């Protein structure tokens, strides 16, 4: 049984490239089914977050299969020859080690952030629902999640924000005073709510958008005002700061929307992938704009002792995977 993975992340590709490989949940399911139908493929899992897209494939006689090329083809990317070098291709133990590092937050833009555990779980769940995860990838993802939980429980890490949203606001607050500023937050998902929490601590006056048609319970952070999503354009004129973090496939704020108003927000922060805020907004005089790539900090030299401890945990779980694999080989079990 061979395991092959392809990874595209914030280290290798700018946001305009990454968003070409950003998929909705429905599209992820379609891609998984297409890959599972490829000859020799036994299992496939697709991990897609705002900072990375990673495809894991297992099967027999798939050594010549290129998962990066598969992603390019299934994404309708024509200039694949230019993009292929941006992918990291890994085999077998290298793929397992990388996934465990990802789950533990060692490969995250915000080192040790714990949202990635949920995202890895979600990727495995979708593959399970689509019946594209085999026993090899099931075990690999289960052990990776367990390793991440063990690392989080046993190793206390301080002074590192737990999410990219909190990190972005913390970084901006070093040069921008949010106290009494009128902030419009577009998107009431987890990232939007985390931004509101941090901004409330900084004394901001926050208004958050809600979509009328959204089903289920709507959580509004205590202390925040609300408007409908459709009112966002009108509300620009009375906002100092705009932060957008939605899963929309289209821009939530365009340059035309901003230029219509005489009074404009002075700061735009885009925490979405694909991007929510049209890049051209940064060219408007008096306006400053940030996206996810602006908040990348190299934490590789920080918390060195903690990194070593986490890698020791990872090596222990890799040994567990190898024992499981060897047992199956000796027992003559087939993959399913």
pLDDT for 303 equals: 58
pLDDT lower than 50: segments of the chain: 158-160, 298-302
Asked if residues 51 and 164 have their Cβ atoms less than 8 Å apart, the reply is yes
Q: Give residues with Cβ within 8 angstroms of 297, minimum separation 6.
A: 109, 167, 171
pLDDT for 162 equals: 52
Q: Is 59 annotated as a binding residue?
A: no
pLDDT for 301 equals: 46
CA distance 144 to 320: 11
pLDDT tens readout for residues 177-207: 999 999 999 998 888 998 999 999 999 999 9
List 48, 50, 72, 224, catalytic entry: 50
Ranges of beta strands (E only) in 111-246 are: 182-186, 205-210, 225-228, 241-244
Q: Is 64 annotated as a binding residue?
A: no
Alpha-carbon separation of residue 277 from 146, 171, 204, 269 (angstroms): 37, 19, 21, 8
> Which stretches of 155-253 are DSSP H helices?
164-172, 190-201, 232-235
Q: Is 51 annotated as a binding residue?
A: yes
Q: Is 313 annotated as a binding residue?
A: no
Please report the domains of the chain, with CATH numbers, ordered by start residue. Answer: 2-158+305-331 (3.30.460.30), 164-295 (3.40.50.720)
Q: Give residues with Cβ within 8 angstroms of 93, minimum separation 6.
A: 318, 322
pLDDT for 134 equals: 96
Strands 241-244 and 182-186: parallel
Q: Is 48 a catalytic residue?
A: no
CA distance 67 to 28: 14
pTM greater than the 0.75 cutoff: no
């Amino acid at each position: 049984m061979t395991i092959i993975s392809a990874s595209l992340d914030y280290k290798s590709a700018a946001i305009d490239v990454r968003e070409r490989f950003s998929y909705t949940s429905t599209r992820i399911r379609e891609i998984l089914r297409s890959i599972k139908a490829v000859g020799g493929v036994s299992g496939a899992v697709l991990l897609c977050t705002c900072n990375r897209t990673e495809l894991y494939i297992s099967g027999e006689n798939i050594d010549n299969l290129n998962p990066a090329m598969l992603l390019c083809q299934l994404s309708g990317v024509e200039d694949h020859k230019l993009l292929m070098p941006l992918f990291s291709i890994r085999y077998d133990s290298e793929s397992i080690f990388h996934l465990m590092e990802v789950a533990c937050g060692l490969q995250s833009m915000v080192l040790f952030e714990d949202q990635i555990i949920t995202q890895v779980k979600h990727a495995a769940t979708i593959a399970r629902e689509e019946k594209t995860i085999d026993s090899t990838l099931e075990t690999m993802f289960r052990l990776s999640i367990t390793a991440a939980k063990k690392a989080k429980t046993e190793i206390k890490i301080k002074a590192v924000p737990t999410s990219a949203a909190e990190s972005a606001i913390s970084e901006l607050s070093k040069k921008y005073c949010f106290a009494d500023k009128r902030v419009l937050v577009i998107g009431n998902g987890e990232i939007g709510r985390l931004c509101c929490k941090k901004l409330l601590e900084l004394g901001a006056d926050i208004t958050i958008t809600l979509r009328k048609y959204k089903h289920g319970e709507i959580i509004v952070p205590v202390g925040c005002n609300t408007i409908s999503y459709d009112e966002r354009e009108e509300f620009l004129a009375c906002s100092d700061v705009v932060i957008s973090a939605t899963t929309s496939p289209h821009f939530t704020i365009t340059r035309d929307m901003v230029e219509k108003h005489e009074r404009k927000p002075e700061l735009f922060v885009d925490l979405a992938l694909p991007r929510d805020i049209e890049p051209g907004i940064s060219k408007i005089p008096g306006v400053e704009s940030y996206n996810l790539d602006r908040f990348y900090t190299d934490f590789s030299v920080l918390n060195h002792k903690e990194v070593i401890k986490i890698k020791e945990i990872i090596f222990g779980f890799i040994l567990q995977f190898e024992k499981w694999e060897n047992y199956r080989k000796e027992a003559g079990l087939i993959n399913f």
